[in-house]
Chain A
Amino acid sequence: DAGVTQSPTHLIKTRGQHVTLRCSPISGHKSVSWYQQVLGQGPQFIFQYYEKEERGRGNFPDRFSARQFPNYSSELNVNALLLGDSALYLCASSQSGREKTQYFGPGTRLLVL
């Protein structure tokens, strides 16, 4: 079975632009979480979605938003990009909203110039 997939793998944007990152969870998994990993640090939690509803939100500004679709895939949107948004964005899936074990995708590396 395929693992968590993310697209694109790499992205270069300029300050002020908008970006959309996509994630498909493991088949049968209904929960998707998003994390931001800045170089040299551990991942930081951004959002969790389960059954198309937001179940958790980390300490990120309103420029960050996300949604989950009926097929359980998800998008992360970031508006008005800042240089500090440059990071590896990781998507993780789990079987349910209460299941604590999460499986990660390869990530999307975003560079903001």
Chain B
Amino acid sequence: GNSVTQMEGPVTLSEEAFLTINCTYTATGYPSLFWYVQYPGEGLQLLLKATKADDKGSNKGFEATYRKETTSFHLEKGSVQVSDSAVYFCALSGSGSSNTGKLIFGQGTTLQVKP
């Protein structure tokens, strides 16, 4: 079945450092891929998405490229801020009618940014 694997955290960085959070997936067909962010005590916010191979999603300085050849969707940011401290979830929505409406999430990666 479909699955998502994220790098384990926590990831601790200094402000202005470069961020990479790895995400790989297993899926049949052509899933859509997402990154969500969860701040303490809150729900999930959509950060970015990509719906087909080689698409690059971007938002608020974060980027991720849908790599079908490596089944990956790694999240990157060139310069992190303290306010980026949160839990980041990679997710996929499978292709085909049987998978509609179901997001499959990774286990989440906690990012801590220190001043």
Contacts and interface: CB of A to CB of B under 8 A. Distances in A.
A106 B4 CA distance: 23
A23 to B, nearest CB: 11
B100 A98 contact: yes
Given A42-B89, A90-B43, A104-B43, A48 B107 contact: no
B91 to A, nearest CB: 8
B62 interface: no
* Interface range, B side: 20 to 34
A106 B102 contact: no
Q: Interface of chain B, helix or strand or loop or mixed?
A: strand
Contacts of A55: 100-101
Nearest to A57: B102
Nearest to A43: B105
Point out which of A33, A35, A102, A103 has the most chain B C-beta atoms below 10 A from its C-beta: A102
A55 B102 CA distance: 10
A100 B49 CA distance: 10
Interface residues of A, number: 30
Contacts of B51: 100
Given A48-B100, A90-B44, A100 B32 contact: yes
Interface in A77-97: 88, 90, 92, 94, 97
Contact of B103 (A45, A88, A98): A45
A30 to B, nearest CB: 11
Interface in B59-115: 89, 91, 93, 97, 100-108
Contacts of A6: 43
12 contacts: A31-B101, A42-B91, A42-B106, A55-B101, A88-B43, A90-B43, A92-B44, A94-B101, A104-B43, A104-B44, A106-B42, A107-B43
